[in-house]
């Protein structure tokens, strides 16, 4: 589960070959004891939870990097290591 970005104490990961769990393009965000799977196309939480402030930061980051995230998603689903993406 490669870390593709880190900002403001938030770790963003893409799991390799992870299209069976939610079957939607998504990232995994971790902040302190909180973890959430977040949909790439619309930034909505699929499972888990994040504090409101950190969720808004992750959603803004997704908005800025959506094309890069979708390219990384395609790599990860194929079992390839995704590229790092600039932090917020």
* Residue 18: per-residue pLDDT: 67
**Domain-located, residue 66:** yes
Domain count, the chain: 1
C-alpha closest to that of 62 among 80, 46, 78, 81: 46
**Domain-located, residue 5:** yes
- For residue 8, give its domain range: 1-16+34-88
**Domain-located, residue 76:** yes
**Domain-located, residue 28:** no
* Residue 7: per-residue pLDDT: 98
**Phi (first) and psi of residue 48, to 5 degrees:** 85, -165
Yes or no: say if 52 and 28 are a contact pair by the CB < 8 Å rule: no
* Residue 75: per-residue pLDDT: 92
* Residue 20: per-residue pLDDT: 62
**Domain-located, residue 67:** yes
Rounded to two decimals, the pTM is 0.92
* Residue 19: per-residue pLDDT: 64
For each successive 10 residues of the chain (88 residues), what is the average pLDDT?
94 82 85 97 96 98 98 91 95
**Domain-located, residue 73:** yes
């Amino acid at each position: 589960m490669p870390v593709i970005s880190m900002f403001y104490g938030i770790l963003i990961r893409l799991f390799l070959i992870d299209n069976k769990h939610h079957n939607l393009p998504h990232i995994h965000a971790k902040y302190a004891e909180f973890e959430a799977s977040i949909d790439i196309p619309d930034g909505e939480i699929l499972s888990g939870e994040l504090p409101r402030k950190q969720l808004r930061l992750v959603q803004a980051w997704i908005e800025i990097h959506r094309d890069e995230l979708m390219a990384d998603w395609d790599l990860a689903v194929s079992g390839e290591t995704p590229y790092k993406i600039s932090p917020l």
